[in-house]
Structure formats: C-alpha cells, structure tokens
Structure 1
Amino acid sequence: MRVRRSACALALSLGVSIAACAGNGEGADMDMQEAAEHADKIMEATLSGIEPVVHWAHGPTTTGSCDVTRRRSVMTIISSERRGNFLGVVERGWKDRGYRIKGINNDLDSPAIYAQTRDGFGVSLVFGGGQAFFEVDSPCVEESEVAESTASPNGPSYDGVYPLPRPNVRSDFWSVGAP
C-alpha cells in the first residue's frame, strides 16, 4: 500500500490524474473495513433524513481489489406517485451534507440520483422494478478483510435470504396510490 500511495503522490505532484489515486481526504487513510463502516454511517445519515421513515434491509456487501460497496434495499412500498418526493428528500439531504450531485436519471420507471461525498465515496439511489435501492461505494483504500454490517434494519433482517422479497411495508404517505 505504501508503494501505491507513493506512486499516487508522485503522479499527483506531476499533475497526472490516476483513477486509483482519486480517493482523497478520509478514503486515502483507511482500510476496507473502515471504509465499510464509513459507508454504513453515510447510509444511516441518508435513511435517517427521510420522513416519514422507510423500512430497509441489508443488501449484499461486495469488495473489489481496493474498494467496498454497501447496499440497502427499501422495504417500504414507494408508489410511482411518490417517487419524485422520495428522490427530492434524498437529494436535498445529500446537498445539505455537502455531497456533489453527479447525475440524475429522470426515467419514469427507473429514476436515480448519483452523488459523491467530499471524501470520495459514491452514493446512489436507484429505483428498479418498483423498489428503491441505496448503494455506497468507497474510493480505493488499503486492502483488508470486511465484516458484514452491524447496523440493525428497522424491520425484518432477512438474514440468509437472497434475493430479498419485494417491498412489503405499507406507508400512509410513501405508498399512496400503490395497489
């Protein structure tokens, strides 16, 4: 890792941008487990900013050669009539935390928002098949083992169940208009 950091420092001092060196701030000084824990905090801040509260369950954690991705699936039914509200609440929360919005997909069936934190973590909210999915991707960090998230879902945990069931929690607000 020290060699990669030295190579990154040299490349950056010469004004050369290398994708593997893109992690700045916190990401450059953490290992994959620390990055996963930081991703959990980003996810918790995102979900706690949504009112009314939505139920969620863990999606799979995946690792690359130097990055980690945490996922959460929203188990509350978000009706097509409320998707815009949901996306807007999340986007405002991300902007309030200083995240840079990198892209918005306005597709009616599969809308999405993509952003980046100040320390190089990618965050996204994507709708697919009528369900909302959150994902947090770390920048390149030091390789290490990664434990599963210790955050407790605010509904059934679905431990060992893959794929997760379709959204099955009704909300007086988010599910309005849904069958």
Structure 2
Amino acid sequence: MFSRKVWRDALVAVISFAAFSGCSLIPGGGDASYPTVNKALERVDSVLDDTLAGVRPRLRWRDGPAHMSERRNSFTNEADGEMDVSRQRHLRTQISQGKKKELLEIVSRRWEEKGFEIKEQNNGRPSLLSEASDGCIAKIDVGGSGDVYISVGVSAVSSGPSGDIAGEEGDSFPEASSGAPDHTPDLRDPYWSK
C-alpha cells in the first residue's frame, strides 16, 4: 500500500510534466487566452486577405473550406477544449517557374511587416512557414503540379468535433478525374504566368 507522501509526490510529478509539456489535465478546460472559433476564423481570413493584398499584380484564387481540428490530451486522449482553425487559399493564377521565388519573397516581406517571423524556408520545393506572436501560423507552398496554396491556422477554444465548419465551405472547385477537387491553376496572367 502506498503512503500519502508517495501519492502526493506522484501527483506533483504528473502536474509538473503536464505543465511543461503543454497538456491540459482538465477535459474541456481549454486555454482562456484562445479566441472563439468565429474570432479565430476572422483572424485566419484576415491574414489570407492581407497576404494577397500585398501582391502586385493581383492574383486570383479560390478559398477552400474552413476546418477545425480537435486537440486531444496526450495522457487521456480526450478532447481538451482546444481546436486548430484553418483555411487554405488555392491560387488560380498560374505562377511560372521563374516567378515562384519572387512570389515567395513578396509574401515573406508582407508577413514580416505584419509581425510574423519566418520559421522555415525551403528553396528546393518553394515554401515558407511563419508564425505570429499570437500563435497564428501562415504557410505558402508550391505543390508538385505547380499549384500554389496559402494556408493559415490559429488555435481556438471549442468543444466541437473536428471537421469542416458549417457555412464556411469555401468556393466551388472543378472536379479532378479522381473525383476530388482540382486545385490546378487555370488562369494565365501576363506577368505571373510568363
């Protein structure tokens, strides 16, 4: 039989580990500093809008659906009341191989002006990952088929399940031969596609 001291020491160890590993011990507890899902979505869409407003000549795009991803406690695997709210914006404008680096440089400057810090940069398969002081993550990535997308995500407080956010389905996409949405750029631009 364990003594009270052994139980107390074990409890202190668990609480200390949870505190240093970012775990929530209270199911549904959530972080009070996180915004609601609606406020998080406003932040996500605002960063997407602002990012593309800084690119000249203007680019055309389609919005993907807004999505929530439920976070789970690493000990209990129960929902901890926190979500990641995100959306991807897929460029319709074809970006030529010679202009991809320029586009990433413009986006990088724009994000830094808005307080984001560049955390990762890959020149081989052009991509950038940045983070703001509020934990908002923004990424631009060039896919294998030349598609370019910008994704933004931020944490929120919610007890809802993972999945697309109702009423925030985004734009219609053409259908690929696989039946999935086709994200291939379909518009040429005199500057960006040359």
- Tell me the C-alpha RMSD between the 2 structures: 2.7
The alpha-carbon deviation at position 133 of structure 1 amounts to 0.4
Percentage of identical aligned residues: 26
In structure 1, what is the Cα distance between the partners aligned to 2:126 and 2:146? 10
- Which entry has the higher C-alpha Rg, 1 or 2? 2
What is the 5 A alignment of 1:93-132?
93-107=110-124, 110-128=125-143, 129-132=145-148
| Higher RCO (C-alpha under 8 Å, 6+ residues apart) | 1
User: CA offset at residue 38 of structure 1?
Assistant: 1.1
> Partners of 2:172 and 2:43 in 1: how far apart?
23
| Structure 1 residue 139 corresponds to structure 2 residue 144 | no
Can you list the C-alpha shifts for 1:94-153, whole angstroms capped at 9, x where unaligned?
01111010100111xx310000112111100000020110101112433458344498xx
- TM-score between the two structures when normalised by the length of structure 2: 0.69
Aligned length: 153
Tell me which residue corresponds to 1:58.
63
Greater share of residues in strand? 2
Deviations 1:38-89 (A, max 9, x none): 1001100001111110000012322111111111000000000100110000
Structure 2, gaps ≥5 residues long: 1-14, 25-31, 71-82
Asked if the contact 2:64/2:169 (under 8 Å) is kept, the reply is: no
Stretches of structure 1 lacking an aligned partner (at least 5 in a row): 1-9, 21-26, 152-156
